[in-house]
Amino acid sequence: MSPEAKTSLLAYSEELFAPESDVLRWLREEIVARGFPPIHVSPLEGRILSVLARLCGVRRLLELGTLGGYSALWLVALLPREARLVTIEAEPRHAALAREAFERAGESDRIELVEGTARAVIEAMLRQEGGRRGSFDLIFVDADKENYPYYMEAACRLLRPGGLLLGDNAYWGGKVVDARAADAATEAIRLFNRRLADDPRFEAVVLPVRDGLAVARFTGP
């Protein structure tokens, strides 16, 4: 298939299946207007997050890396009102925009934004009574890449058996297959992908959408 045909098919799929709400469109534009990096999921990837969350009947979700809340809004879009998402963001300016977006979308009551570094927040969660074992049905990893292997191990404690682990940027712009790339982020994503593929605690695949979306079912500890 030609690159032009691929581009047309992506536009066709997004137009059919991933129309954005006014708030989502505003948010994408606001991310650019505020000079933040436009490194959020695409509309089609967002819709995939919505459908996966709905398919798996999730109610308790954790997201690492909020940016402006674009993926967070897709994650909860098809879920019943009682679903709750906790999303962690280290950059206060990103968190401020996300709060505004959640307000505008009428989702502030079911999305809790925690400011801090994801690893520190998770470590605090794990120190709480009972280690929060199995307290989430879905975890979406989209924060600092160097900690992806740590996030995967933490997910084994935080997810219930049968829960879903999702990881964005599994292709890391193609660097995972570039033999010359040996930086810490690339090595960490390679390790994350390798472990997801080999670890019997996960049944996993990478969807070749945008920058690669790792999708894994946690079978149990």
Ligand X SMILES: C[S@@+](CC[C@H](N)C(=O)[O-])C[C@H]1O[C@@H](n2cnc3c(N)ncnc32)[C@H](O)[C@@H]1O
Which of 14, 20, 30, 91 is close enough to bind ligand X by CB under 6 A?
91
DSSP string, 47-90: HHHHHHHHHTT--EEEEE--TTSHHHHHHHTTS-TT-EEEEEES
By the rule CB under 6 A, 137 interacts with ligand X: no
Nearest-Å Rg of the Cα atoms of the chain is 17
By the rule CB under 6 A, 65 interacts with ligand X: yes
d(CA 38, CA 40): 6
Applying CB under 6 A, which part among 88-96, 99-107, 123-131, 199-207 lies near ligand X? 88-96
How many residues at the interface with ligand X, by CB under 6 A?
A: 18
* Residue that the structure tokens 């137009």 belong to: 15
Applying CB under 6 A, which part among 12-20, 82-90, 122-130, 149-157 lies near ligand X? 82-90
By the rule CB under 6 A, 88 interacts with ligand X: yes
**Interaction residues for ligand X, span 144-163 (CB under 6 A):** 144
Q: Which is nearer to ligand X, 44 or 201 (CB)?
A: 44
For 188, phi and psi rounded to 5 degrees?
Answer: -65, -40
By the rule CB under 6 A, 41 interacts with ligand X: yes
DSSP 3-state assignment of 37?
A: coil
Nearest approach in angstroms of CB 179 to ligand X is 25
Give which of 159, 170, 139 is closest to 219, Cα–Cα. Answer: 159
**Contact residues: ligand X, CB under 6 A:** 39-41, 65-67, 70-71, 88-91, 94, 117-118, 142-144
